[in-house]
Amino acid sequence: MEITAGLLNVVDIEATCWEGMPPVGSVSEIIEIGLTVVDLDSRERVGRHRIVVRPARSSVSAFCTELTGLTQAEVDGGVSFAEACRRLAAEHRSGALPWASWGDYDRLQFTRQCAATRVAYPFGRRHVNAKAVFAEAYGLRKRPGMAQALRIAGLPLEGRHHRGEDDAWNIGALVLDLAARDGWPGTPGTPGAA
C-alpha cells in the first residue's frame, strides 16, 4: 500500500489481559490508546498523546498491572470506549490520516471492539503494519517484537515497554528509521513510492 509523505498516526493500545483464561463474562478491552504523530516530511515525531479508557466488561488483573503499569483505579478515571473513538476522530483526524501499528493486533482489537459495542470504527482504511515493513526492510525472516526491533535498529527503548503512550512513541522512532532508510512505503526508493 502506498502511503504518501505527510502526517501519520502511530497507534499502540493496551487491553485488559490475564495470565490464563479471562474470568467468566470478561472480554479483552482497550484500556489505553497511545498515539504518536509522525511528520514524514520533516522526519520527526511531532505529537504524543494518551487516552485512558474505562473498560465496561472486564477489570484490570494483577497480571495486567504488572505488564502495563495500569491499575483499575487509573482506568476507572478514563473515558468510555465510544468517547475515546470520538476523540481519535475529532482531535487526531484518525479517519482521514493514514495510521500504523506494530503488527495487526491493534487494528483487529479496534475492529472487534467497535463491532461488539456498535461504536463507529475511528480509523480510515490506510493502515500500515510497521512490523511487516520493518522485517522486509531489514531482510528478516521472522518479524521481531518492538523492543527487539529497536535493538536491531540501534535505537533506545524510551519509557516503559507495554505502555501504549511509550510504545507508540518508540514505534514512531522505528517508522522514522525506516523512512531514513527509504524503507517506509511512499518514501523514495521503496516499492510504491511516488
Contact 46, 20 (CB under 8 A): no
Percent of the chain with pLDDT over 70: 93
Quick: pLDDT tens for 58-86. Answer: 999 999 999 999 999 999 999 999 999 99
Kindly tell me if the per-residue pLDDT of 189 is higher than 70: no
Q: Does domain 7-180 have CATH number 3.40.250.10?
A: no
4-28 average pLDDT score = 92
Which of the four pLDDT bands, split at 50, 70 and 90, describes residue 2? very low
Q: Give the per-residue pLDDT at 186.
A: 77
Which of the four pLDDT bands, split at 50, 70 and 90, describes residue 188? low
165: DSSP letter: H
105-126 average pLDDT score = 97
Q: Give the per-residue pLDDT at 98.
A: 97
Residues 81 and 83: their CA atoms lie apart, in Å, by 5
- Each domain of the chain, given as residue ranges in start order, spans 7-180
Residues 40 and 45: their CA atoms lie apart, in Å, by 9
Radius of gyration of the chain (CA): 16
Catalogue the E-assigned strands of the chain.
Answer: 7-15, 30-39, 44-52, 99-101, 127-129
